[in-house]
Amino acid sequence: MGSEKSKRKKIAIIGGDGIGPAVTREAKLLLEVYRDKAGLPIDLWELDLGADRFLRDGTTFPKEIQIAIQRECSAVLLGALGDPRVPGLEHARDILFGMRFGYDLYANIRPVKALSDKLVPLKGRGAKDVDLVVFRENTEGIYVGMGGQFKRGTPDEVAINEDVNTRKGVERIIRAAFEYARSHGRTRVTMADKSNAMRHAHELWLRVFHEVRAQYGDISSDHVYVDALCLYLIQDPSKFQVVVTNNLFGDIVTDLGAAFQGGLGMAASANVHASDPKRVALFEPVHGSAPPLAGKDIANPFAALLTVGMMLAHLGWPDEEKRIERWVTQAVDEGQCTVDVGGTLGTQAAAAWLRERVAAEL
């Protein structure tokens, strides 16, 4: 372990809402195995943030916590946010956007990788056909919240959300996708937009894509409209290796992709500042808080555990991501998993099965 890797890494942990605390607990236990058994230099900092805290005292994401995370932490592990008791989602918005926008984590990276043939619902397709990575722009687009409502509640009501795209934002996410492809042995990058309908915002995407691709002659690249991309993904996902797109389309395409890998309970993600890997990064399973499943010990923990793998790779231990993937694959193949992916185990038992096998190898 080199000197850079041996520096201690502080990880903030936010369990959040719904099934978030349950799956995050299992992720934390896996991190403790790596800390205590493998001796990885990581420190865990649990934070009491989420709907329960908001309902208790109105706290969302205190400025002092935001600053402390930025100064002291290498990564944040977030369970999920969203609770029907907070219909306005004030706490979720402040926490999630406070990190994504506040730390300028412009690249949302979502692997769409099937770990077992039995998880792929497409006829005639198997795990070998599903292995792509989506780069979703994370700090611009329709989700910035610019807009408003006029004459609300009347027959003449007008509601506007503005799609914000900057040259800087578009170029850096496209470049991040090409750099990832080059550094990870991928040979093709696809950019998806809707420039045929959104003549101003997405013409910028198309123009910048052509300018950036010219600088990566070793990487094949193509452009498709996002509606066509959805069609092509279902027809043959093996044609795609790295996909880059905007905030809204990335959100939609990655949920479609999750269906190819066994559902949202198998989907991990990272939010990073791709051009400065030393900045704090945010890691989260993408399944959401799923309030109806909370407290029932039935939520799939594998997305959270795979997210731990992504985090460890980001922090300098890529072999551990491969190890966790291998044991998740075996768990699914042997039925040592939750019902949604063909098993009979509960959240805690499925996570414990994997954790024990990882620990035995360390």
* CA distances for 173 relative to 13, 40, 307, 342, angstroms: 26, 31, 21, 36
Q: d(Cα 125, Cα 116) in Å, to the nearest integer?
A: 11
Which of 143, 163, 180, 340 is catalytic? The answer is 143
Judge contact between 238 and 128, C-beta under 8 A: yes
* CA distances for 52 relative to 38, 92, 253, angstroms: 34, 11, 31
Query: Active site includes 151?
Result: no
CA-based R_g, the chain, Å: 20
Query: Active site includes 276?
Result: no
Helices within the chain (DSSP H only): 3-6, 20-36, 51-57, 63-72, 90-100, 167-183, 201-213, 226-235, 247-260, 302-315, 318-333, 347-361
Within 8 A by CB and 6+ apart from 63, the residues are: none
Judge contact between 19 and 52, C-beta under 8 A: no
Which of 180, 193, 194, 340 is catalytic? The answer is 194
Which of 104, 255, 297, 333 is catalytic? The answer is 255
Q: What is the DSSP letter of 340?
A: G
Which of 222, 227, 236, 319 is catalytic? The answer is 227
Residue with tokens 């795979």, as numbered in its chain: 306
Query: Active site includes 251?
Result: yes
Which of 17, 83, 94, 251 is catalytic? The answer is 251
Q: d(Cα 243, Cα 237) in Å, to the nearest integer?
A: 11
Query: Active site includes 216?
Result: no
Q: Which residues of 211-226 are buried (b: 16+ CB within 10 A; e: fewer)?
A: ebbeebeebebebbbb
Query: Active site includes 193?
Result: no
Q: d(Cα 102, Cα 88) in Å, to the nearest integer?
A: 20
Q: d(Cα 352, Cα 167) in Å, to the nearest integer?
A: 46
Q: d(Cα 181, Cα 134) in Å, to the nearest integer?
A: 11
Element housing 159 (H / E) = strand 158-161
Q: Looking at the annotation, which residues are catalytic?
A: 143, 194, 227, 251, 255
